[in-house]
Amino acid sequence: MRLGVLDVGSNTVHLVAVDARVGGRPTPMSDWKTSLRLVEHLDDDGAITDKGKKKLVAAVAEAAELADKLNCTELLAFATSAIRSASNGDEVLAHVAKHTGVELEVLSGEEEARLTFLAVRRWYGWSAGRITNLDIGGGSLELSTGSDEHPDLALSLDLGAGRLTHQWFDADPPERKRVNALRDYIDAELTEPARQFAQFGEPGVAVGTSKTFRTLARLTGAAPSSAGPYVKRRLTAPGLRQLIAFISRMTAADRAELEGISSDRSHQIVAGALVAEASMRALGIEELEICPWALREGVILRRIDKGLA
């Protein structure tokens, strides 16, 4: 059964096509995405603007057309933080459905954390013991921990790299006082989650998922994506602190010249790095393993688990 998985995130609209089978590995046979930066298309009331809706409709329509050309028998279409938190989210969903025929399922923050955790657990297996996972998206940060396939604790915070960049930084490079103020804000937002996580003890494996973590690991010396998914990649707290001191003084254009970071991500990587560093510090994590599977794989695995016709 060929599944199309359409992920409408805060940064991109991303379509993968997978030949799914029970017991099979959810490896994409086709992968397409386009930049969206939906969190940058919010007005002062938190509503997605007409320009944002127009860009979203165009991207979803293109993805749906491609899914049809790829002979996908089912399209799993979902949206995350940007639409979830938009004040006109329901209106935007109706608008997209009317103009594209695609009905997006809006995942709650907890669902997003749980599905990502499922993918991570399947990647590492039972021998990993307790897993704690961190995932930084464009609009939100998801945190989860557990010893089974379903986490004991799954949280979502509005600490996405794109959202914080849009809200906090108005200069390029960002002003030092704004960087420090954002760091204090993130620390405050993580105080209660850190207390909750502390109740479960130290994990056997601490994991980072998402493009932000992969980029940060690459910028601190991890293998490039061309080396394949099975190469172990890690991100350490000391390496991350050194990286922040370096990239926070650079313009987005200069950061885009660094090996391992795209121009689409260079403007928000400082905020993403601050969230990563603060999260690791709050949870007492000195090193993260970078997992190649994340939310999309979790969505696929959930669908396979329900049975395929």
Unique residue bearing structure tokens 């799993």:
76
Q: What is the mean pLDDT of the chain?
A: 95
Query: 13: Cβ–Cβ under 8 A, 6 or more apart, which residues?
Result: 6, 7, 33, 34, 36, 56, 59, 60, 63
pLDDT at position 25 over 90: no
Residue type, 183: R
The CATH number given to 125-295 is 3.30.420.150
Which two structure tokens, joined as six digits, stand for 141? Answer: 């940060």
Q: List the structure tokens of 177.
A: 């006082």
In the predicted structure, residue 263 carries a pLDDT above the cut 90: no
Confidence band, pLDDT 50/70/90 cuts, at residue 154:
very high
Give the mean model confidence (pLDDT) for residues 272-286: 98
Give the pairing of strands 131-136 and 205-209: parallel
pLDDT band at 264 (very low <50, low <70, confident <90, very high): confident
Q: What separation in angstroms does the CA of 133 have from each of 73, 149, 285?
A: 32, 12, 11
Average pLDDT in the 255-271 region? 93
Position 40 confidence tier, pLDDT thresholds 50, 70, 90: confident
Task: Assign 38 a pLDDT band (cuts: 50, 70, 90).
Answer: confident
234 in helix, strand or coil? strand
Which residue in 125, 145, 127 sits closest to 135, CA to CA? 145
Question: What span, in angstroms and rounded, lies between the C-alpha atoms of 140 and 52?
Answer: 18
**Interval 167-214: pLDDT, tens:** 999 999 999 999 999 999 999 999 999 999 999 999 999 999 999 999
Helix (H) or strand (E) holding 300: helix 295-305
**pTM (2 d.p.):** 0.95
pLDDT tens-place string over residues 119-151? 999 999 999 999 999 999 999 999 999 999 999
Indicate if the pLDDT at residue 309 is higher than 80. Answer: no
Q: State pLDDT tens for residues 202-257.
A: 999 999 999 999 999 999 999 999 999 999 999 999 999 999 999 999 999 999 99
| Residue extents of the structural domains in the chain | 2-106, 125-295
Let me know if the fold of 2-106 is the same as that of 125-295. Answer: yes
CA separation for the pair 161, 271 (Å, rounded):
5
> What CA–CA distance (Å, rounded) separates 249 from 242?
12
* Selected residue with higher pLDDT from 109 and 29: 109
Output b/e per residue, 120-138; b: 16+ Cβ within 10 A. bbbbbeeebebbbbbbbbb
Architecture in CATH of 2-106: 2-Layer Sandwich (3.30)
